[in-house]
A and B are shown apart, each in its own frame.
Chain A
Amino acid sequence: MSDRRYTDLQIERHLCSDFSPEEQSDFEQSATEADRAQLETLRRQSEAFLEAASAHKQAVAISQRLTPKRMGLRFLAPLALVASVAAGLFLFLDSPAKLAEPDVATKGGELRLKVYVATDSGSRMLMNGDTLPAFSRVRFELLHDQPGFAAIVGIDSEQVVSVYYSSGDRAVPYEPAVSELPVAIELDETLGSETFYGLFSAIPFDAKRVGAELLAKRPLGPNIQQAELTVGKTR
């Protein structure tokens, strides 16, 4: 970065209109050619990202996950500020040049597991390492682009394997269009970490047996894909 005066993070702030008027003025006067080139690179990446990500769909998804008390005028006040700044950014971003598609598409055949916990106002998506109280109600979303067979297995801190989603112990047919699995479970009182495994295969499989393989940390074989998420259970 010898010919750069600004770090990437500073240039990101500039791109997001987070600079104060003084910082903005300083940038205009003292940014090097390398700084400006990096700004242009990031700007193009941003344009390509927004084309691929569908900002409207993302906004809908975010709004559906907000607690109701935040959806109203109180919530609009801070957003109006950033939105007004953003208006300037859109003009700035509106380059006539079409850009190549970014490499953000999900690879074919990839499996993803999302776990949601019920809250007073709806639900919240869990991230790896989140904690939640015992007896919380959770539901699962399993995403794959192929039809096949799916199951959800959990292993808790006492190394107990539970098959949360299946028909008996067998994996059940899976359709990509129905990624939200028709099951909601209430966690038990066992405290500590619990790992949920989403399992998928193009052919039927025994979920209980696969759970035992996971517990023993043995490889599952090439036919079965897994995605996992670990949460902590507290009182």
Chain B
Amino acid sequence: MSKELEAIEALYRQHAPTLFRRSLSLLGSVDEAHDVVQESFVRFMNAGYTKGSAFALLYRIAVNLSIDQLRGRVRHKHESCDEHDLPSDLHTGSRVESAMDLALLTRGLKDKHLEVSVLYHVDGYSQDEVAASLGLSRRSVGKTLQRVAAHIHQRAARLGYDSNKLAAGAHRE
């Protein structure tokens, strides 16, 4: 086995289970989660990152790809029903559906903001927990969530969606 292949396999062994769990929790689909994991490694390696934590970069790529997948689902759902039916149809309480709501309402957000939003709105982390998990200050998380809230309110108003349901954090434990 070549050294390159050995290195890729080592990287895969180290990070793939975590990426799979993250993607599966957002997508609810084993097949899609496997696709996201593989694609995350390809994009990470093709980008040629030499700085920063491999974990942090891979994790962010996987979250973004998962949310993109959900946007594809939302778009399909969107096209096949009346726009005003969308909110009640989408928000039925499961983690995946909360992630779909978030995917719909956060289109256009920066990657970093999306990562914070997923932990807060989908996983139900407190702001302190988001800060500790991502190595950010509590203040920085608060500011990010304020920006996200403004973005969400704008999109929610356009789509006729009750954003308070999402803002409350559907899965806070």
How far apart are the CA atoms of A114 and B31 in the complex, in Å? 11
Contact indicator per residue, chain B 16-33, by CB within 8 Å of chain A (1) or not (0): 111011100000001100
Is B139 an interface residue when CB atoms closer than 8 A count as contact? no
Note all chain B residues with C-beta closer than 8 A to A8: 123
B6 in the interface (beta carbon within 8 A) = yes
Number of interface residues of A (CB under 8 A): 65
In the complex the two chains form, is A59's CB within 8 Å of B132's CB?
Answer: no
Q: How far is the CA of A2 from the CA of B112 in the complex (A)?
A: 27
Given known contacts A63-B5, A75-B4, is B54 in contact with A82 (CB within 8 Å)? yes
Knowing A55-B12, A80-B7, A82-B10, say if A127 contacts B69 (CB, 8 Å): yes
Q: How far is the CB of B147 from chain A (nearest CB, A)?
A: 21
A71-88 with Cβ < 8 A to chain B: 71-72, 74-83, 85-87
Q: Of the candidates A13, A55, A86, A129, which one forms a contact with B72 in the assembled complex, judged by CB atoms under 8 Å apart? A: A129
Give the B interface residue count (CB, 8 A). 57
Whether A1 lies near B173 (C-beta < 8 A) is yes
Contacts of B154 in A (CB 8 A): none
Would you call B8 and A79 a contact (CB within 8 A)? yes
Quick check: A10 and B69 within 8 Å, CB to CB?
A: no
Contact B10 A87 (CB under 8 A): yes
Are B30 and A83 in contact, CB atoms less than 8 angstroms apart?
no
| Distance in Å: Cβ of B66 to nearest Cβ of chain A | 10
Tell me if A136 counts as interface (CB < 8 A to partner B): no
Q: Shortest Cβ distance from A128 into chain B, in angstroms? A: 3
How many cross-chain pairs have Cβ atoms below 8 Å apart between A and B?
Answer: 161
Q: Is A18 an interface residue (CB 8 A)?
A: yes
Q: Chain A residues with Cβ under 8 A from B48's Cβ?
A: 70, 74-75
Docked pose: A213 CA to B54 CA in angstroms = 46
User: Which of B13, B45, B75 has a CB less than 8 Å from the CB of A55?
Assistant: B13
A104 at the interface (CB under 8 A from B): yes
Q: Chain B residues near A61: list those with CB within 8 A.
A: 38
CB-contact partner of A49 in B5, B14, B17, B68, under 8 A: B17
> Which residues of A have CB within 8 Å of B17?
15, 42, 45-46, 49-50
Q: Are B13 and A229 touching (Cβ within 8 A)?
A: no
Q: Is there a chain A Cβ closer than 8 Å to B88's Cβ? A: no
* The residue from B8, B16, B21, B133 contacting A53, defined by CB atoms under 8 A apart: B16
A125 to chain B: which residues have CB within 8 Å?
35, 38-39, 42
Closest to B107 in A: A129
Q: How far is the CA of A216 from the CA of B132 in the complex (A)?
A: 49
B158 within 8 A of A: no
Query: Are B132 and A229 in touch, CB under 8 angstroms?
Result: no
Please measure, in the bound complex, the distance between the C-alpha atom of A71 and the C-alpha atom of B39, giving whole angstroms.
Answer: 16
B111 within 8 A of A: no
Q: Shortest beta-carbon distance, A188 to chain B, in Å? A: 21
Q: Which residue of A lies closest to B3 (CB)?
A: A76
Chain B residues, CB < 8 A from A195: 76
A89 at the interface (CB under 8 A from B): yes
Are A12 and B21 neighbours in the complex by a CB distance under 8 Å? yes
**Residues of B close to A16: CB separation below 8 A:** 14-15, 18, 55
Judging by beta carbons under 8 Å apart, are A65 and B42 in contact?
Answer: yes
Assuming the contacts A70-B45, A86-B10, A128-B72, asked whether A46 and B38 have C-beta atoms less than 8 A apart, the reply is: no
> Which 6 interchain pairs have the tightest Cβ spacing?
A128-B72, A46-B17, A79-B7, A83-B10, A59-B9, A18-B55
11 examples of A-B residue contacts, CB within 8 angstroms = A7-B129, A17-B14, A18-B55, A42-B18, A49-B16, A49-B17, A58-B37, A59-B8, A127-B36, A229-B72, A230-B72
